[in-house]
Amino acid sequence: MNKGAHCNQFYSYLYSAVDSNPLSIYVMHPFWNFVVKFLPTWLAPNLITFTGFMFLVLNFLMLAFYDFDFNASSAGHQHVPSWVWVAAGIFNFLAYTLDGVDGKQARRTNSSTPLGELFDHGLDSWACVFFVATVYSIFGRGESGVGVVTLYYILWVVLFSFILSHWEKYNTGILFLPWGYDISQVTISLVYLVTAAVGVETWYQPVIFHLLYRDLFTFMIIACSFTVTLPMSLYNVLKGYRNNTLKHSSLYEGLLPFLSPFLLFVLSTIWVIYSPSNILELQPRIFYLMVGTAFANVTCKLIVCQMSNTRCQPLSILLLPMTAVVVLAITRVFTNETLLLYLWTAAVVLAHIHYGVSVVKQLSNHFSIFAFSLKKPNSD
Please state the domain extents for the chain.
3-367
For each of the chain's 380 residues, which pLDDT tens digit applies?
Answer: 454 445 555 555 556 677 778 888 889 999 999 999 999 999 999 999 999 999 999 999 999 999 999 999 988 899 999 999 999 999 999 999 999 999 999 999 988 888 888 889 899 999 999 999 999 999 888 787 889 999 999 999 999 989 988 888 888 888 777 777 888 899 999 999 999 999 998 888 888 877 888 888 888 888 888 887 888 888 888 888 788 878 877 888 888 999 999 999 999 999 999 999 999 999 999 999 999 999 999 999 988 888 877 888 889 999 999 999 999 999 999 999 999 999 999 999 999 999 999 999 998 888 888 889 888 776 44
Residue type, 243: N
Q: Provide the pLDDT for residue 156.
A: 96
Q: Is residue 96 classed exposed, middle or buried when 0-12, 13-18 and 19+ CB atoms within 10 A define those classes?
A: buried
184: how many CB neighbours lie within 10 A of its CB? Answer: 20
Task: Provide CB contacts within 8 A for 20, sequence distance 6+.
Answer: 176, 177, 179
DSSP 24: I
What is the Cα–Cα distance from 166 to 18, expressed in whole angstroms?
12
Residue type, 275: S
Has domain 3-367 been given CATH number 1.20.120.1760? yes
What is the Cα–Cα distance from 121 to 179, expressed in whole angstroms?
16
Q: Provide the pLDDT for residue 333.
A: 95
Q: Provide the pLDDT for residue 3.
A: 46
Full DSSP string of 160-186? HHHHHHHHHHHHHS-EE--HHHHHHHH
Full DSSP string of 217-253? HHHHHHHHIIIIIHHHHHHHHHHHHHTT--S--SHHH
What pTM did the predictor assign? 0.92
What is the Cα–Cα distance from 98 to 123, expressed in whole angstroms?
12
What is the Cα–Cα distance from 322 to 358, expressed in whole angstroms?
22
